[in-house]
């Protein structure tokens, strides 16, 4: 069985960039790797992503929002993660902890309830490593160009601060699983720190270069 690595963080933290850089490292070493994202990675997930990316005048309650993400997550686990882990390594741009951070700490739903629902949706596919790219929300939103029509980027600074606080608490509570990286560091330095953590983990994966 392979590994699952999830990248998490607030808006503008640089997750997508670092996922691509990690993918490049792994491919050069011949590691079988699947790159995916949440919500997305499947036809259902992509449709849910499109819905949530368009803020518009559509009102979605926090609980309804949570179930949209859970639906996309369950489909991802069924269609992508299971096979990807059997073949080697899966790197996911956001995963289950995003719901705890955004719908839990951000929206005010009970984190314990979200964790129980995540356990059902993920069928036990927990990340072996969670990379948290930590950045002050005001800095990340500036990187993104300020508030826009995105479902989350347009939320208040207080909302994003709660999300960040949730991420940091989860990392503090499970330090063996989480790697917290200062996302204000130069991208190459962030890349180096992540690779130092990941490289020992892939030694047992079939296909990895010695």
CB 207 within 8 A of CB 88: yes
Low-confidence ranges of the chain (pLDDT < 50): 210
CA distance readout (Å), 119 to 12, 87, 112, 197, 199: 28, 23, 11, 26, 28
Q: Which bin fits 124, alpha (ψ -120 to 50), beta or left (φ > 0)?
A: left
- The Cα–Cα gap between 144 and 26 comes to 28
pLDDT at 153: 82
- Asked whether 122 and 77 are in contact (CB, 8 A), the reply is yes
Residue 210: per-residue pLDDT = 47
Kindly list the structural domains of the chain, giving each domain's residue range(s) and its CATH number in brackets, ordered by start: 3-202 (3.40.50.300)
Q: Give strand pairing partners of 93.
A: 7, 37
Distance of CA 136 to the CA centre of its chain: 17
Work out the widest C-alpha separation in the chain, in whole angstroms.
54
Distance between CA atoms of 164 and 105, rounded to whole angstroms? 9
- Chain centre distance of CA 127: 10
On whether the pTM is more than 0.75, the answer is: yes
87: number of Cβ within 10 Å: 14
pLDDT of residue 79: 94
């Amino acid at each position: 069985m392979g590994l699952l690595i999830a990248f998490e963080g607030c808006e503008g933290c640089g997750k997508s960039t670092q996922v691509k850089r990690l993918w490049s490292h792994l491919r050069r070493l011949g590691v079988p790797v699947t790159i995916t994202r949440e919500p997305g990675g499947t036809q259902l997930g992509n449709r849910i992503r499109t819905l949530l990316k368009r803020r518009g005048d559509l009102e979605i309650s926090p609980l309804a929002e949570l179930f949209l993400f859970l639906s996309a997550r369950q489909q991802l686990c069924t269609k992508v993660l299971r096979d990807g882990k059997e073949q080697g390594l899966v790197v996911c741009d956001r995963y289950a902890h995003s719901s705890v951070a955004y719908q839990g700490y951000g929206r005010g739903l009970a984190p314990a309830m979200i964790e129980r629902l995540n356990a059902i949706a993920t069928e036990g596919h927990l990340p072996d490593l969670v990379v948290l790219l930590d950045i002050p929300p005001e800095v990340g939103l500036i990187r993104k160009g300020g508030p826009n029509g995105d479902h989350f980027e347009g939320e208040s600074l207080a909302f994003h601060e709660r999300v960040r606080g949730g991420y940091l608490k989860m990392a503090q509570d499970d330090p063996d699983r989480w790697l917290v990286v200062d996302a204000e560091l130069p991208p190459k330095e962030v890349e180096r720190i992540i690779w130092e953590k990941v490289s020992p983990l892939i030694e047992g994966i079939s296909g990895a270069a010695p």
